[in-house]
Structure 1
């Protein structure tokens, strides 16, 4: 009788192990936040104004990683009320809101200049999911940039731009590691400027700027940036 129960127990154990080995691996890391088609300043135009557009500079769009809230800065009053604080982390500026800058009060000429922001940015030539740790403070100091936009061949942008067809092409496998406005570490993938996040754009008049990007903020203060998506 004892032998019979022992055989049954071993069989159950083997079946259990077999089931576990077929289960999908449990993802490690924390989930990222995906922002799709964030509408920026779609009312401006750099050329002849089309329907519903006017020829003028583009309003900056600020975005907070923690609240997922954004705001267009249209007036001097807006600048005074919304820019000189820690309530946002990145701003989409210049033509078609394509130049992305961090909130840092010491960076003259940027939206956060003169405020308390401590933001910083460094370019990492790795796919987003392979960036698992923020660089050292020394790297941020020596290799940090104020912002990223058109890569004209110098390796400092997030998209390529053709002067022949005037279409932006996002750069794959380039990630941006940031310090947020309040000094936490984060990583950012800038994915598209066109509505619907199309894999390929051939139409100059494809609706833009509609920004798609994903990010992760390490809230425990560490440099760990491993994510599950």
Structure 2
């Protein structure tokens, strides 16, 4: 995957989105909508002025407190990864790989107390009204999602022609969170301003826009409308 992101290495500031290029509002009065979560915007995969050529720091996010934490070194990993106070992590190239805090080899939370797992549901977010049975999580659950190369499980397509990430519409991820609650998640964009269309590979990234709903009463009810 790394080589396909090389042409995104020279990310520079870009003009603000025009009104016609602003994605429709995702506010529903119930879900949490996170706009432009600034992940590791100082990293680069190439020699880019004003940036550092190095691996991207992992960014932890708590769905409960909405707080983030950057994992920059081994000391940070030892102190923060094996805890249940975060739910999803943004890692790898341009923080485009989203993982849950659970027991999946190779993911940040593996070996800790997190109970996280996700399943993909090819339905619009608003139409996902109930979490599946635990058997579905156990059988078809996964630890993370990123570039969809044909698996049907990713959250974005990546074009080898224009080198732009395009979010997959009407794909929702249903989660068991680190503490065992049920939630749904829609990953909307990796580019600053949540543009409806990106035509320039130099558009600033990674600025993650996503929305989610966590059911805290212990039920599987995920209705948000």
* Structure with greater Cα Rg: 1
Q: TM-score, normalising length from structure 2?
A: 0.86
Q: For the Cα contact (< 8 Å) 1:124–1:175, is it kept in 2?
A: yes
- Structure 1 segment 1-229 matched on structure 2, within 5 A: 31-47=30-46, 49-104=47-102, 106-228=103-225
Q: TM-score, normalising length from structure 1?
A: 0.84
Unaligned runs of 5+ in 1: 1-28
Q: Distance in 2 between matches of 1:224 and 1:176?
A: 14
How much has 1:178 moved relative to structure 2?
Answer: 0.2
Partner of 2:155: helix, strand, or coil? strand
Q: For the Cα contact (< 8 Å) 1:122–1:176, is it kept in 2?
A: yes
How much has 1:208 moved relative to structure 2?
Answer: 0.1
Q: Distance in 2 between matches of 1:31 and 1:109?
A: 33
Partner of 1:227: helix, strand, or coil? coil
Unaligned runs of 5+ in 2: 1-27
RMSD: 1.1
Stretch moving more, 79-88 or 183-192: 79-88
